[in-house]
């Protein structure tokens, strides 16, 4: 594996319009998905182009109050990371503008004096709409650089993949070429005095108070945003947990997970950086972790990129939609409302604990997340209600909700990226999970006791 050099593969770079480079005052990097100053291909490409054009580089980030389903829990985590990015860029002589404005509008305004606009890549519908709007409404060229996957989505596969089994060999054929370290560059021209006012985020709580956002969800105490904290968590994983990961990752009573997903969600750490650290480490657990980080995670980007119905039942495979429809009128032994589920007020103490873990910490253990979604399907009046409920709760409370992994995880509970199983009531041929399965894998009652202590402490 290469250990030196700085390579931005051409497959990462896509022109979003055909406009020629202009004689503007600066190169503009619109940072939105990749919220970091390290291992950021879009940023490094922007520095490269700014140096070629002998112009300063300005980094822009737009904070919208209306990102779908985001609340103060998510905004706080994001602002903690952005504060660190701003300081890190300053050390490199790069000015960062943060505006309290919908990002696509801010970019269009700033692009009036930009020679070239660079953006990172977003996979969700709203992120793609933002980039399309910018490309259509400015005179400067817009170049998108993909940095939040190891292998660019279209390079990995030109179409939606059925499952990890069909996706994995395609990914593995090209993976090695993209496992290349990214070296930082420094701009030739200082841009610290941009001439524009910026939204002050030095005091995160104060800046949060100025946003018109949903404040119905409480903050989380354990996880803090930012690249520095992400790397600290990764160091802890490598040193103490990875050797146990392959055997104990499905046991929520054991603390062996990496906690990387919230940081990956906000782009505060690069998946490439993580993969290179894992590959360069010693010990067990590498293969199992890289399967999740690369194959499973990038399969989710494949899903949301190629399937316009990624956030509804329409995104499921034909067999899953058919079997769920066939059993749509089956009798449900238990039916709970959204409010009851949100409070963790079901007959199932294991499910309740999973829900409360998510509400209190912003993160549910991955194995319990599967069980959680399956039971929502079993306990809802209709399949459509179940799907909507799972998305509402996941996106509202999870720090890593509202992203390709979140949408794909919910879809998996309803048959996505899976295969038909033995037919049974309600589920049809969709995979079934029950409490006895939890007990066979780990001490489920111990998990409940741990969450009970968490609830008591939280109160």
Instruction: List pLDDT tens digits, range 134-180.
Output: 999 999 999 999 999 999 999 999 999 999 999 999 999 999 999 99
Instruction: List pLDDT tens digits, range 156-165.
Output: 999 999 999 9
The first and second tokens of residue 228, run together, are 């520095």
pLDDT at 344 over 50: yes
pLDDT of 457: 82
In the chain, CATH 1.25.40.80 covers 1-306
Best CA proximity match to 197, nearest among 66, 102, 135, 106: 106
pTM of the model: 0.97
pLDDT of 141: 98
Distances (CA, A) of 419 to 117, 169, 293, 369: 43, 18, 22, 19
Centroid of chain to Cα 6: 25
In the chain, CATH 1.10.579.10 covers 308-458
Instruction: List pLDDT tens digits, range 237-293.
Output: 999 999 999 999 999 999 999 999 999 999 999 999 999 999 999 988 999 999 999
Q: At what angle do helices 366-379 and 404-413 cross, to 10 degrees?
A: 50
Residue showing tokens 């519908």: 125
H or E element: which one contains 14? Answer: strand 13-15
Instruction: List pLDDT tens digits, range 78-135.
Output: 999 999 999 999 999 999 999 999 999 999 999 999 999 999 999 999 999 999 999 9
Instruction: List pLDDT tens digits, range 391-449.
Output: 999 999 999 999 999 999 999 999 999 999 999 999 999 999 999 999 999 999 999 99
CATH 3.40.50.450 applies to domain 308-458: no
Q: Which fold has domain 1-306?
A: 1.25.40
Model confidence band, residue 6 (pLDDT cutoffs 50, 70, 90): low
Percent above pLDDT 90 for the chain:
97
pLDDT of 283: 84
Model confidence band, residue 2 (pLDDT cutoffs 50, 70, 90): very low
Q: Cβ atoms within 10 A of the Cβ of 344, count?
A: 19
């Amino acid at each position: 594996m290469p250990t030196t050099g700085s390579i931005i593969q051409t497959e990462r770079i896509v022109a979003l319009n055909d406009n020629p480079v202009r004689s503007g005052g600066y190169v503009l990097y619109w940072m939105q998905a990749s919220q970091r100053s390290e291992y950021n291909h879009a940023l490094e490409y922007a520095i490269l182009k700014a140096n070629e054009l002998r112009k300063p580089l300005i980094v822009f980030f737009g904070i919208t109050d209306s990102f779908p389903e985001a609340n103060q829990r998510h905004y706080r985590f994001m602002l903690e990371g952005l504060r660190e990015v701003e300081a890190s860029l300053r050390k490199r002589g790069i000015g960062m503008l943060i505006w309290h404005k919908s990002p696509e509008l801010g970019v269009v305004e700033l692009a009036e004096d930009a020679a070239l606009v660079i953006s990172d890549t977003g996979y969700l519908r709203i992120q793609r709409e933002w980039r399309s709007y910018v490309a259509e409404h400015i005179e400067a060229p817009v170049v998108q650089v993909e940095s939040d996957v190891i292998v660019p989505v279209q390079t990995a596969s030109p179409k939606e993949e059925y499952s990890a089994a069909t996706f994995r060999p395609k990914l593995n054929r090209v993976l090695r070429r993209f496992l290349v370290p990214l070296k930082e560059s420094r701009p030739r021209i200082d841009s610290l005095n941009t001439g524009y006012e910026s939204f002050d985020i030095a005091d995160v709580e104060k800046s949060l108070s100025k946003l018109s956002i949903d404040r119905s969800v409480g903050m989380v105490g354990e996880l803090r945003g930012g690249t520095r904290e992400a790397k600290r968590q990764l160091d802890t994983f490598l040193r103490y947990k990875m050797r146990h990961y392959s055997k104990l990752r499905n046991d929520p009573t054991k603390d062996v997970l990496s906690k990387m997903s919230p940081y990956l969600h906000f782009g505060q750490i690069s998946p490439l950086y993580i993969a290179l650290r894992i590959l360069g480490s010693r010990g067990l657990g590498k293969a199992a972790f890289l399967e999740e980080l690369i194959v499973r995670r990038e399969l989710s980007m494949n899903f949301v990129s190629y399937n316009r119905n990624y956030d509804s039942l329409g995104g499921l495979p034909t067999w899953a939609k058919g079997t769920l429809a066939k059993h749509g009128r089956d009798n449900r032994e238990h039916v709970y409302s959204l409010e009851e589920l949100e409070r963790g007020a079901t007959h199932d103490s294991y499910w309740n604990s999973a829900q409360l873990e998510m509400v209190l910490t912003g993160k549910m253990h991955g194995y319990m997340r599967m069980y959680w979604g399956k039971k929502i399907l079993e306990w809802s009046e209709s399949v459509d209600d179940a799907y909507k409920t799972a998305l509402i709760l996941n996106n509202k409370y999870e720090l890593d909700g509202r992203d390709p992994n979140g949408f794909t995880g919910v879809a998996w509970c309803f048959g996505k990226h899976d295969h038909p199983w033995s037919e049974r009531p309600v589920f049809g041929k969709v995979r079934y999970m029950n409490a006895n399965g939890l007990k066979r894998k780990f001490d489920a009652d111990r998990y409940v006791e741990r969450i009970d202590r968490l609830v008591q402490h939280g109160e």
